[in-house]
Chain A
Amino acid sequence: MESPKPLESNLISKLTKLATKKRIEFWDIRVASSSGTLLEFTNGKNKEVSYSNIKGAGIRAFINGGWGFSVKQNISDSSIIEGLNEAIKLALFAERYSKFKFKIKEYDLIRDKYTTKLKTPLKDVDIEQKIDFALQIEKDAHDFDPRVINTNSLYTDGIINSLLINSFGSSIEQSISILRIFSIVYAKENGNLQRNFESIGGIGGYELTKKADKIGIKSAKKAIKLLSAKPVKGGKFTVIMDPKLTGVFIHEAFGHACEADLVIAKESILEEKLGEKVASENISIIDDPTPSDMALFGSYKFDDEGIAAKPVQLVENGVLKTYLHDLESASRMNVSPNGHGRASSYSSKPQARMGVTYLKEHDWKLNEMIEDTKNGVLCENWKYGYTNPATGNFQFKTRNCYKIENGEKTELMRDVGLSGLILEILNRVSAIGNKIEYSDGVCGKGGQRVRNCTGGPYLRVEDVVMGGLQ
């Protein structure tokens, strides 16, 4: 697949001239071309074997508080010029009626190239080999136990080649290679039907499939285990979250409220809380899209506004230190952008988003936490979670949990929902585990889905409301 060619300097000077003439204060252009494979099988049969090829350009123009955005799928010079003209027209219209006037602050230009570091390029692997791999996941899951009644396996990979230029003079070329694998298993016994979902994902080449080697077995094993789980009884409990749940909890319940665009829009309960204590003293929360191997599913070197990503300390020892910024929110709050302006693709506008968000580890071992708990539950993994950032109400569905009675793990339970109020619950953390684990996911906001990672250790929280069916 071809990468978008760097724009010729005379095209760039044409665009600059056009924007200057119309008093445009900031503009940027993201051109991308991507290709990908999707393999989906169910009960060992072909559901979809597909190949895609998409290209286009997203063009933004800004003037005095008003944004215009135009999406073109033709990436010829003339189409890009037309796109900028449209974006300018739309920005001038928005500016005329916008009540809030502000400027986009200029920052140092970046001229760079970034290519995913990988061992086995996706294109070097035959489609037949990818199919065999996904069918093996199907077989592993199906053969695990006769109680498995339906299996669904997905393999998806893709390469996104992109070019970003903006009116500060930045020019960033990137080639990102991504891969994701899912195994969904349904098991049934005496009318009781349970579902389990496992996924792995990362930034890299075909070598990432090694991480998913036994994913079908793992997924089936958990589904079978859920058959013996009992529905939970509602009430208030001490809860120990496993690393997967801690990660997604931090992401949903806290991370979204840190997104500066929501803060500006007055839709976050963390508004005016900078420098204040928002969590127990030992809590530190960081978003770092630049882990050392750059292979976590949420990692990136540059955000979609051409700002270099770096570790951002959101909470330090319980105190809120900063928000996650895109270019606009940083300008409006008079701070430096911190590399969190992200878009799902060229056809969407960047928003303030998370990358790799995690809660820092401390000193408890899991067995110590359990032994130290009289009456509680140990919750493992999650199905989904959400938060209302304006009221702070959150809710998480965990896959399963174990009762803890007098320091011992006992009965297995399912369909557990945890809920609470963000600012209350982070102040009720009573133990933090000593080892972080990460998991991958895709996060939705404003209709856009971006790749993400969440992480954390085992975490114990007091007085959590658990909803159940009884």
Chain B
Amino acid sequence: MITKNNFPKENNVLFNRGKFGLRITEKYDKVKCSEIYVQKTDAFEIGLEKNSIKDCNKSESCGFSVRVFDKRGSLGFAYANDISSKIIEKTINNAVKMMKVGPPNDEFKDLPFPKKSNSKVTGIYDKNIKDLEFETPFDLIKDMIKISSDDSQVVTQSGDFSSLYTYYYVFNSNGIEISSKETAASLTSSIVVKNNGKNETGNGFHWQIERKYKDLDAIKVVNKTLQMAKMNLNRIKIETMNVPLILTPKGVISLILNPIASAINADTFQYNRSFLVGKLNKKIGSDLLNIEDNGLINGAVGSSEFDAEGVPCQNKKIFENGVFLSLLHNSFTAGKDNVESTGNAQRNSFSSTPNIGSTNLYFNPGDYKTQELFEDIKIGILLDYTGDSPNLATGDFSGLILNGNIIRNGEIQESLNETMVGINILDLFNRIEKVSNKLEVYGSKNAPYVKISNVQISGSK
């Protein structure tokens, strides 16, 4: 926990305003507990269009929000992007008014109480990003442009560099007083390539997000994008078939990690909206299904010492050998279940109440080299990207393969048009047959290649 003495000077204003707000909420006798969240962000972006720099954007934002609860559990929430005392007072007054007229919620217990974090998380702030001169990232952009213009198949590239600096405080009437200083910088690339000699284009995309500026690797990002775009060429329509499916790390994220992140959200779970309801502590997947949510990895994009309500982040096993072990909680859902919050409260900005999200989600690696997943496949499908997501309530998935290929005799061949995959996610968990031994990182998601034994593929031929 940070005491006032070691607060950096630049943020004394935020600190004082937050404390000021908390004192005001305490003046209202109907307020049972209250919380002030103050946040400052600076963002910078360079945009790329048609493989050339097109625009540069800079934005600053500073705002706060207040949550007040009465003893009926009614929540009043208000926010403003002005932290003058006049606006703070007015906004709190609005929140209290909302609280008084709002309906009760007997499921609300209390806001969290201070708890010491067990591990210090380092490497989530980089001064080089906070003090970034806007000329600096041009070196990265230059590499992105050069690789694309040197390739005769590239029709166009769009993308961007962006950086973000965030500083926030959480104060609550139970004594929580935490702050966090974080940075992130990212590169994205989206490339359209043509098939020389054929009237066909294909596309690919890739991105990298890092806490530290020096970890960005523009050459790798563009090469990965190019590889994906070229694999999207020579598209064919195929017949309907039932065959093995290999998911790339991107495919694992969209078909396994993202749905799990939503399904283990305690809020979704408690309202019976998740396909995992009734499955806690049961074995529902192959032994190779091992997933954890770890908010304490130094330097990782999803890490921080405390969550957005000031509760210490943790490392949790979600699936172990196919057994479903844990949910993600914020203080509200934890109170409802009479358990401790798992430190998964998140806010997009000061303008939202804390919802629940995963920190760094890992699909743990298996024993196989990537190539070994393909070896024994006579005919199969590789899925890299689909825009679809499963029906969260039922786990049913029926999706269009936007980037994917046919596998023949262990080799990745033509790309696919109008091809859909249909499977229930619970069946997919059971049919995990092989997992590769290396993870690829996409922001806060980490995934290997995964082979699924049998999947229904609908083609249009």
A contacts, CB < 8 Å to B: 41-56, 65-73, 86, 90-91, 93-94, 97-100, 127-128, 131, 135, 149-150, 186, 188, 192-195, 231, 234-236, 264-267, 347, 349, 386, 388, 390-391, 393-395, 397, 415-417, 419-421, 465-470
Within 8 A of A (CB), among B87-105: 87, 91, 94-95, 97-99, 101-105
Q: Are A467 and B192 in contact (CB under 8 A)?
A: no
Complex interface: stretch among B28-36, B56-64, B164-172: B56-64
A42 to B105, CA, bound (A): 10
Q: Are A135 and B103 in contact (CB under 8 A)?
A: yes
Does B413 have its Cβ within 8 Å of any Cβ on chain A? no
Q: A50-B98, A419-B400 known; A467 and B387 CB under 8 Å?
A: no
Q: Are A49 and B55 in contact (CB under 8 A)?
A: no
A234 to B422, CA, bound (A): 9
Extra contacts, 20 of them, besides A73-B60, A266-B155, A347-B59 (Cβ < 8 A), are: A49-B74, A49-B75, A49-B98, A51-B78, A51-B97, A55-B82, A66-B54, A97-B52, A99-B50, A100-B50, A100-B52, A186-B393, A192-B394, A234-B240, A235-B240, A390-B202, A391-B417, A468-B458, A469-B422, A470-B456
Chain B residues whose CB sits within 8 angstroms of the CB of A236 once the complex forms: 460
Does B122 have its Cβ within 8 Å of any Cβ on chain A? no
Chain A residues whose CB sits within 8 angstroms of the CB of B104 once the complex forms: 45-46
Q: Are A467 and B422 in contact (CB under 8 A)?
A: yes
- Nearest A residue to B278 via CB reads A191
Choose among B56, B97, B190 the residue with the greatest number of A CB atoms under 10 Å from its CB: B56
A192 to B394, CA, bound (A): 7
Chain B residues whose CB sits within 8 angstroms of the CB of A51 once the complex forms: 77-78, 91, 94-95, 97-98
What is the interface size of chain B, counting residues whose CB is below 8 A from a CB of the partner? Answer: 82
Q: Nearest Cβ distance between residue B73 and chain A, in whole angstroms?
A: 7
- Nearest A residue to B332 via CB reads A47
A193 to B240, CA, bound (A): 28
Q: Are A46 and B422 in contact (CB under 8 A)?
A: no
Chain A residues whose CB sits within 8 angstroms of the CB of B258 once the complex forms: none
A73 to B138, CA, bound (A): 27
Does B290 have its Cβ within 8 Å of any Cβ on chain A? no
Selected contact of B400 from candidates A70, A395, A469, CB within 8 Å: A395
A65 to B53, CA, bound (A): 9
Q: Are A231 and B59 in contact (CB under 8 A)?
A: no
Q: A266-B156, A391-B203 known; A128 and B56 CB under 8 Å?
A: no
B contacts, CB < 8 Å to A: 46, 49-63, 73-82, 87, 91, 94-95, 97-99, 101-107, 134-135, 138, 141, 155-156, 158, 190, 192, 201-203, 232, 235, 240, 271-273, 275, 351, 353, 387-388, 391, 393-394, 396-400, 402, 417-418, 420-424, 456, 458, 460
Q: Are B62 and A49 in contact (CB under 8 A)?
A: no
- Nearest A residue to B421 via CB reads A467
A62 to B271, CA, bound (A): 51
Q: Nearest Cβ distance between residue A361 and chain B, in whole angstroms?
A: 29
Selected contact of A93 from candidates B76, B80, B134, CB within 8 Å: B134
A393 to B99, CA, bound (A): 48
Q: A69-B58, A469-B398 known; A131 and B102 CB under 8 Å?
A: yes
Q: Are A465 and B82 in contact (CB under 8 A)?
A: no
Q: Are B393 and A267 in contact (CB under 8 A)?
A: no
A50 to B458, CA, bound (A): 46
User: What 5 pairs between A and B have smallest CB-CB spacing?
Assistant: A467-B420, A71-B59, A234-B458, A67-B55, A99-B52
Q: Are A265 and B55 in contact (CB under 8 A)?
A: no
Q: Nearest Cβ distance between residue B291 and chain A, in whole angstroms?
A: 23
Q: Are A43 and B271 in contact (CB under 8 A)?
A: yes
- The interface residues of chain A, by DSSP majority, are classed as strand
Q: Are A193 and B272 in contact (CB under 8 A)?
A: yes
Q: Are A68 and B388 in contact (CB under 8 A)?
A: no
Chain A residues whose CB sits within 8 angstroms of the CB of B393 once the complex forms: 186, 193-195
Q: A66-B53, A393-B418, A419-B420 known; A49 and B102 CB under 8 Å?
A: yes
Selected contact of A234 from candidates B79, B107, B456, CB within 8 Å: B456
- Residue contacts A-B, CB under 8 angstroms, 24 given: A44-B103, A49-B76, A49-B101, A50-B78, A55-B81, A65-B54, A66-B53, A70-B58, A71-B59, A97-B53, A100-B50, A127-B97, A127-B98, A188-B272, A193-B273, A193-B394, A231-B396, A347-B59, A349-B57, A390-B201, A391-B235, A393-B417, A417-B399, A469-B456
Q: Are A150 and B272 in contact (CB under 8 A)?
A: yes
Q: Are B60 and A468 in contact (CB under 8 A)?
A: no
- Nearest A residue to B400 via CB reads A395
Q: Nearest Cβ distance between residue B247 and chain A, in whole angstroms?
A: 17
Q: Are B192 and A266 in contact (CB under 8 A)?
A: yes
- Nearest A residue to B94 via CB reads A51
Choose among A43, A56, A67, A94 the residue with the greatest number of B CB atoms under 10 Å from its CB: A94
Q: A93-B56, A194-B393 known; A45 and B103 CB under 8 Å?
A: yes
- Nearest B residue to A194 via CB reads B393
Selected contact of B79 from candidates A50, A264, A393, A466, CB within 8 Å: A50
Q: Nearest Cβ distance between residue B156 and chain A, in whole angstroms?
A: 4
Chain A residues whose CB sits within 8 angstroms of the CB of B273 once the complex forms: 150, 186, 193, 195
Q: A93-B134, A395-B400 known; A419 and B418 CB under 8 Å?
A: yes
Chain A residues whose CB sits within 8 angstroms of the CB of B58 once the complex forms: 69-71, 86, 90
Q: Are A391 and B202 in contact (CB under 8 A)?
A: yes
Q: Nearest Cβ distance between residue A122 and chain B, in whole angstroms?
A: 15
Q: Are B91 and A53 in contact (CB under 8 A)?
A: yes
Q: Nearest Cβ distance between residue A105 and chain B, in whole angstroms?
A: 18
